[in-house]
Structures are given as C-alpha cells and as structure tokens.
Amino acid sequence: MRRPKVLVTHRQVQPVALERLQRECDVILPDVDFPTRANILDLCPGIDGLLWTSYKMKLDRDILQATGPNLKAVSLTMNGVDCVDLDELATRNIPLGHTPHIPNGAVADLAIGLMIAASNAIFSSREPDAHPCIQGSTVGIVGFGGIGELIAKRLQGFDVENFLYCGHSVKENAKKFNAQFVTREELLRRSDYVFIACPLTPDTLRMFNRDTFSIMKPTAVLVNVARGAIVDEGALVNALKSGKIRAAALDTVTTEPIPADSELFQLSNCVIIPHLGTATKKTRDQMALRAVDNLLAGMRGEAMPSQYFKRKTAN
C-alpha cells in the first residue's frame, strides 16, 4: 500500500510532531528555513496531505490548485483560519483541521502580562502617570470565547470591579465572572482596559479604527492578543500620540515581523512583542501533534479530532 505523500510547509515544525508524521507518511520539507511562496508552490504537485504552518502566508486558491487531484486533507498548526481560502476548500470538499482551545491558557497568561506592562509603563522610559489601576477597574473583552473567558478567570485575583464583553451572543460561562453582555460601543465607552480576543473575519477587520478610538476613555489601555489586522495601525498611532487612549500592548501587528521603521516603535506608550502568545514548548508541541492527528485522520477519510466548520451567517 502506498504511503501518503505530505508537504510540511516549514522546517521549524515541532520535532515530536514531525516524527509522528514521518512514521506513517513520506514527508516533503522545503530545503530552506524560510521558504518563499514560489518554493512551496514547487513542492505542491501530487501531495495527499498539506500541513500548513504559517499564518503569514496565504493558503489560497493557487496553492490549493497546485496540489493536484490527490489532496485529501489540510491541517493547520494554529487555531485561526484567516489565512485559508475556505471557499476553495469547500468547493473541493477537502476537510480542514486546526488547533482550537490548546493555546488558550498560554495566550491568556500573556494577555495579563501585557496588560500590566502597558498599564505601569514597565518597558518604557516615561514616568508612570496618574491613571486608573487594575484594582477597581472595568475590563472589556471583545470576544468572550475560550481565550476571553480565561482572561476573565486570570483577573479574578486582581479585584476588577466590572467585566464587560461583546460578541455574537450571550455566553453562559460569563455568569461565573459576573460579566455583562453589552454592545461594542458601550464596552468601549466604559472600559479602562480593552482586550481583543476575537478571530479575524471580514466583520472584525480594522474593527478598531479612528471612530472606535474616539469612543474609548483617554485613560484606556488596549491589549491585542488576536490578529494585527483587527486594528487600523495608522489610527492606533494617532490615538496614542494624541492621547485619545493612554497605552497599547500588542502581541500581534498587521505585518509580521513588524517593519523596523514602524512608528509604533517610537511611542513610549506602546508595548510590542513578536507574537509570543503560543510560545511555550508544551503549547506548541500539543498544537503540532493535534495538527498531525487532524491530517492523518483526514487522509484516512475519518473525522478530524479538531475539524474546522465555517460559521453559518444569518440571512
């Protein structure tokens, strides 16, 4: 029986996951550590499975078509699916795996660290100003899914006075934290700290923009542990420079790695780290192993342990 042929798009995939994949498949790896789109396209023809490891490069129609007719499954080593042409996959009836829930704890931990760093100017040469402290504050969470819920859970020991959240619907688990479901506008107007913990979708693209920042408190701190493109960076720069908001802490930006000449680097009230939300060995090992399990199941025609199904939108 022929062993499946699988393309792993980057060499930096976790060794424990690569070893599992190699036991059952013939694995193709790029010859370089940082392959270009052209490198990956050259390796696509004839593969049975695709393990996609980069959210920065688009898994679009051209790449999917380059794989040919044998492609049976695609799996991501990440939770977010915004880098994928979902319509093309659906047209070809190819299942997509991802890694929900696994990174939530690590991302929530980092979110709290960013909140503290930005609030207290820990990494800044500026003097801490008189501002609302975390104790007694109002915290707003945009997207009360797994990560949003864990942010609220982590903050239980900080004596936060109010938790607000917004999103598609009321969340039953929010009751455990006395979190109130409000409109996005009310959340922005009332919150001292605003966490972005929602996925990047057409609806959330540049959700935080000039109009958004004009609603927020001038003492508010913005923390983004989701996707950079949810924030209009030009509008954020203006808001930070003009004092429309007090500070921002970013684990992610629109272009990664962030250009060295980005104006965000010049602002003393902006903390930036290089997308470290899942950067623990345990988390990344578990994500990569789940991605491999998804891929193997999909190629066998079985249900994936963590298969992505596109959310149905109301008419």
| Residues taking part in catalysis | 275
Question: How far are the Cα atoms of 78, 215, 230 from residue 206, in angstroms, in the given order?
Answer: 21, 15, 4
As given in the structure block, the two tokens for residue 51 are 């393990």
Run of H or E including 299: helix 281-299
Name, in order, each residue with C-beta under 8 angstroms of 218's C-beta and a sequence gap of 6 or more: 243, 244, 245, 246
As given in the structure block, the two tokens for residue 207 are 């959700």
Quick one: which of 91, 64, 147 has its CA closest to 310?
Answer: 91
Strand runs (DSSP E) across the chain, as ranges? 5-8, 26-28, 49-52, 73-76, 96-97, 138-142, 162-166, 179-181, 193-196, 221-224, 247-250, 270-272
CB atoms within 10 A of CB 216: 23
Query: How buried is 273 (Cβ within 10 angstroms: 0-12 exposed, 13-18 middle, 19+ buried)?
Result: middle
Give the span between the Cα atoms of 198 and 206, in whole angstroms: 12
Q: Do 233 and 254 form a contact (C-beta atoms < 8 A)? A: yes
Give the span between the Cα atoms of 295 and 289, in whole angstroms: 10
Give the span between the Cα atoms of 249 and 256, in whole angstroms: 15
